[in-house]
Amino acid sequence: MSTLKNKSSHHVYDVVIVGGGTAGIAAAASLLKRHPRLEIAVVEPSANHYYQPGWTLVGAGLMPYEQTHRPMIQVLPDDVIWYQQRVRTIAPRRRWIALGSGQQLQYRVLIIAMGLTLNWKGIEGLEETLGSNGVSSNYMPELSPYTWQNIQALTTGRALFTQPLETIKCAGAPQKTMYLACDHWRKAGVLSNVDVHFHNSRASLFGIDAFVPVLSKYLEHYGISHHSQEELVAVDGTHRQAFFRYQGDQGLREYEARFDMLHVVPPQCAPALISDCGLADSGGWLDVDPGTLQHTYFPTIFGIGDVCGTGNAKTAAAVRAQMPVVTDNVLAVLRGAMPKQKYDGYGACPLTVEHGRVVLAEFDYSGELQPSLPQWLVGSTEPSRLAWWVKTQLMPRYYWNGLLKGRKRLL
Ligand SMILES: Cc1cc2nc3c(=O)[nH]c(=O)nc-3n(C[C@H](O)[C@H](O)[C@H](O)COP(=O)(O)OP(=O)(O)OC[C@H]3O[C@@H](n4cnc5c(N)ncnc54)[C@H](O)[C@@H]3O)c2cc1C
């Protein structure tokens, strides 16, 4: 069992990991599987670990919220030392980090796995109304059950779903919840009474063109109005009004839209700490080599997961592909060798287009499709029952019993 220990300030850990989310735990477990004697510290303030891909299912009444989180102490690998604190500073030249308490931890290799920052304040009035007035977000764990309540309660009226402009984790998640809601309304026989709008700050429905036709068909199937390049800028929950900004012929324009239900995906950005400590690329993300995931200037620093400034889809599926690369390369650096393993940018987004069917979008840095299901059975851009089973049954099991144990496969 992991412990909350304090070492002397002169102690040097083999590896310090910042963040005990998907990427931090997977990296720790994978390293220890290869080298059980490594001394690893994980710095993570949260008492709970979350299975975030489950929140889409919770928001559609398909998984109890309780199945999406476990106490951190249960998922941390045996023998890591857990500091239940926030990292306040990273001093890459001197190879130490400082915790919120002021304590310093020295390292031989640092793995940064602190995810991304959800900017709830980026939308005026949102924080005041989230969780009431029909305003919800599956990006806030406790609110995913409220999304499902709203969907069930709506039998007539207007439902708005939004997607921000910035890079977000699981870029398909804003649409996934919308399609599952529409399918619920269709089955309940009320879809024709619900006016559904997708306000998408981006120009395109999905980042990989190959998946746009199938998603467009589902928009048509459910009668969803797609508003591209329209950004949610403010919410007035009491009066149930959402305010959108778009580029008009004569500059930026705003308009308001009434809603009965609003599902918001907040703007997202890199954690400020990355820039503050001189570790960022021009976009503020951790500046790592897209192949080796080693920091561009500091060879004893690696990145894994959402924090990296790499062009892959920010998903747990990407972490699964990054994990063996980071493990191998960190061990190489600890041995004094050069990192050799390369990540190809694999990421996956299981698009829940209807109950019982998923379009499993899998692709790499170049946008090349990387299907993992047998192609004679399922076309890579087609909705399938097998992919639904993967998303709803296999993935949760693999997450807790495979990925978090440092395994690339469940068995
Ligand atoms: C609604 C939703 C649906 C999703 N669906 C899917 C899906 O279907 N498939 C898929 O593959 N992916 C999906 N994802 C994305 C996936 O969950 C993330 O990409 C993945 O969890 C990223 O892992 P991470 O470790 O980089 O970040 P996280 O898991 O977010 O972990 C980051 C950790 O760092 C910690 N931290 C932050 N700051 C500090 C600090 N200063 N000091 C110490 N620790 C710190 C945080 O507390 C957190 O525990 C979904 C995400 C959401 C929100």
Domain spans of the chain?
12-116+270-343, 120-267
Residue 252's contacts (CB-CB under 8 Å, 6 or more residues apart) are 245, 246
Give the distance (Å) from ligand 1 centre to CA of residue 50. 8
Which of 80, 150, 152, 167 is CA-nearest to residue 116? 167
- Any atom of ligand 1 within 6 Å of the Cβ of 177: no
Give the distance (Å) from ligand 1 centre to CA of residue 223. 32
Q: Atom 44, ligand 1: which residue's CA is nearest?
A: 19
Q: Atom 4, ligand 1: which residue's CA is nearest?
A: 53
pLDDT of residue 1: 44
- Any atom of ligand 1 within 6 Å of the Cβ of 350: yes
Please name the amino acid found at residue 302.
Answer: F
Pocket test for ligand 1, best of 17, 18, 22 (most atoms within 8 A of CB): 22
Taking CA atoms, 352 is separated from 7, 191, 301, 384, in Å, by 47, 18, 36, 10
The CA distance from 268 to 246, in Å, is: 19
Taking CA atoms, 249 is separated from 153, 245, 246, 252, in Å, by 39, 13, 10, 8
- Any atom of ligand 1 within 6 Å of the Cβ of 150: no
DSSP conformational letter for 224: P
Q: What residues does 124 pair with on adjacent strands?
A: 234
DSSP SS3 for 5: coil
- Any atom of ligand 1 within 6 Å of the Cβ of 137: no
pLDDT of residue 198: 98
Give the distance (Å) from ligand 1 centre to CA of residue 156. 35
212 neighbors 203 (Cβ within 8 angstroms): no
Q: Atom 35, ligand 1: which residue's CA is nearest?
A: 19
**Active-site residue set:** 170, 349
Residue 173 CA: nearest ligand 1 atom is 3
287 neighbors 281 (Cβ within 8 angstroms): yes
CATH number of 12-116+270-343: 3.50.50.60
Backbone angles phi, psi at 379, to 5 degrees: -70, 145
Same fold, 12-116+270-343 and 120-267: yes
Pocket test for ligand 1, best of 63, 114, 168 (most atoms within 8 A of CB): 114
Pairing of strands 347-354, 357-363: antiparallel
Pocket test for ligand 1, best of 16, 44, 52 (most atoms within 8 A of CB): 52
For residue 378, the surrounding DSSP H or E stretch is: none
Give the distance (Å) from ligand 1 centre to CA of residue 56. 14
Would you write out the chain's pLDDT as a tens digit for each of its 411 residues? Answer: 455 555 666 799 999 999 999 999 999 999 999 999 999 999 999 999 999 999 999 999 999 999 999 999 999 999 999 999 999 999 999 999 999 999 999 999 999 999 999 999 999 999 999 999 999 999 999 999 999 999 999 999 999 999 999 999 999 999 999 999 999 999 999 999 999 999 999 999 999 999 999 999 999 999 999 999 999 999 999 999 999 999 988 899 999 999 999 999 999 999 999 999 999 999 999 999 999 999 999 999 999 999 999 999 999 999 999 999 999 999 999 999 999 999 999 999 999 999 999 999 999 999 999 999 888 888 889 999 999 999 999 999 999 999 999 998 866
The CA distance from 103 to 94, in Å, is: 15
Give the distance (Å) from ligand 1 centre to CA of residue 225. 30
Instruction: Specify the CATH superfamily of domain 120-267.
Output: FAD/NAD(P)-binding domain (3.50.50.60)
101: number of Cβ within 10 Å: 11
The CA distance from 239 to 256, in Å, is: 11
